[in-house]
Amino acid sequence: MIGEKIISFETIDSTNQFLKEHFSKYPSGTVVVALEQTSGYGRNKRRWYSARGGLWFSVLFKPRKQVDTTFYTRVFSVAIVKALETFKVHADIKWPNDIYVRGRKLAGILTEGIFEGKKPLALIVGVGMNVNNEIPDELKTRAISLKEILGREIPLMKLLELILKNARVLFRRYTKKKEALTRIWKRHLLQKEGDIVTFSENNQEKIGKILKILPDHLLVETDEGVRKVYSLSPH
């Protein structure tokens, strides 16, 4: 069960990296949480500022068969949005893996797999959320914390348990009904079909209109034709 075993660290380089190196020692559902990460990272290895006061954790899964890694990202995206609703905070999911409030980034999710050929040995879902930590001046226009939104501090372990509880419910309810979860996930998306988005292609910034939103890519219409887009430009 998710969260049955929780490993806590004061400081660690990265909770995802720890599980990537030690997954064979721990059961599926193990959670690793740290007060601080010195080398936190997101998609495309972008550095993730991970100071004390934030919620930095990873969850280990050991699937028995080939899996859709994006399903795990969708589960935790919705789990976080639902947890924030408990605090009367409206959040949006920026496709495919970020949580935004008031146009600024509150949290990010990174799902990584370890495979032997096509067989999954482990799947690790990492979550980084700005909770009680101070946002550096250079990031204040792009990032926000829960403390700033609510005007008070939130107990980190209570928030962690709320997210894990939501994830347990979502896995139980939707593992065999993935399309139903995708519909819920889409309702919370910041981007909608028809929106204009920017993305990078061959180190060039491109602009296009979203034709279709899929869990693992977008179909985007540009002046040069329809493109499959796997990552949007940060803003």
Which of helix, strand or coil describes residue 142? coil
| Closest-CA residue to 118 (of 70, 73, 69) | 69
For every one of its 235 residues, what pLDDT tens digit does the chain have, with 9 covering 90 and above? 899 999 999 999 999 999 999 999 999 999 999 999 987 666 555 666 788 999 999 999 999 887 888 999 999 999 999 999 999 999 999 998 899 999 999 999 999 999 888 888 999 999 999 999 999 899 899 999 999 999 999 999 999 999 999 999 999 999 999 999 999 999 999 999 999 999 888 888 889 999 999 988 999 999 989 999 988 876 5
All structural domains of the chain, each given as residue ranges with its CATH number in brackets, are 6-187 (3.30.930.10), 196-229 (no CATH)
Angle between helices 69-86 and 156-174 (to 10 degrees): 130
Q: In this structure, what token pair is assigned to residue 157?
A: 């372990």
| Adjacent-strand bridge partners of 127 | 57, 109
Helix (H) or strand (E) holding 19: helix 15-22
What local confidence, expressed as pLDDT, does residue 201 receive? 83
> DSSP characters for 78-117?
HHHHHHHHHTT---EEETTTEEEETTEEEEEEEEEEEEET
The residue with tokens 């990537």 is 20
> How far is Cα 204 from Cα 96, in angstroms, rounded to an integer?
20
> How far is Cα 105 from Cα 99, in angstroms, rounded to an integer?
6
Instruction: Find out whether 3 and 161 touch, Cβ atoms under 8 Å.
Output: yes
What local confidence, expressed as pLDDT, does residue 189 receive? 95
